[in-house]
Amino acid sequence: MSSLYFITGTDTGAGKTVLTVLLAAYLRQKKIRVAALKPLCSGGRDDAQEIFAALDGLLSLDEINPWHFRAAIAPALAAQREKKSVTQSEVTRHIRAVQKQFAVTLIEGAGGLMSPLGKDFDSRDLIVELEAAPIIVAQNKLGAVNHLLLTLEALPKNLRAAAKVVLMSPPKADAASQSNMELFGQFFPPEKIFPLSWFGNNFAPDVVLKKPSVQRTLGKILR
């Protein structure tokens, strides 16, 4: 098990927060001391609040999410509109300070891999600097394979080889939802692709974790 995982996605709304919350709850259930962070967000702090609830007060909301901006646009632009600036070094320092206190640290990005987070950096830059194990989340629907291949191509070769991919079922499946696993497995190791079901808009992690299939999948993602 790596000590630092970075949960990124092919796009906004891919299911990063759902996965981050489930992984945090799973590790806590296993009595592993885990931190989960969403360093930057814009357009509200709902994602960070879900992580806060999953950690049950282990970290404060401001420790989980130190930088947050009002406009529902890329964090870098949202910060500019508020005449604020966030640097990569600031974010990295915060992550490293928290990481020292925990056995495992989960970092959730904002938007897709290349979405601008702050002053001249994005999630890819953080993954590279932190040498984090990337977990890429995509909605399991038409277009997912193209988006995943582009996201993987954007990662350096060594991190691409370390990546895991999670296909999150959408609320309503389409024709591609049944074939994406097989198709994507022609381009990426099938043993590193993991499907997760749709759990509903207001799912309870402790209820979801009662399902043995979910427990097995989360364990494999972290292996």
Active site residues: 38
Q: How far is the C-alpha of 75 from the C-alpha of 16, rounded, in Å?
A: 16
Question: Chain-centre distance of CA 143, in angstroms?
Answer: 19
Cα 24 to Cα 77, 93, 122, 163, 194, distances in angstroms: 29, 21, 23, 19, 17
Tokens 């990124």 correspond to 8
Measured CA angle at 44 (ends 43, 46), to 5 deg: 135
For residue 181, the tally of other CB atoms under 10 A from its CB is: 17
Query: In the sheet that 193-196 helps form, which strands lie side by side, from edge to edge?
Result: 34-37, 104-108, 4-9, 133-139, 164-168, 193-196
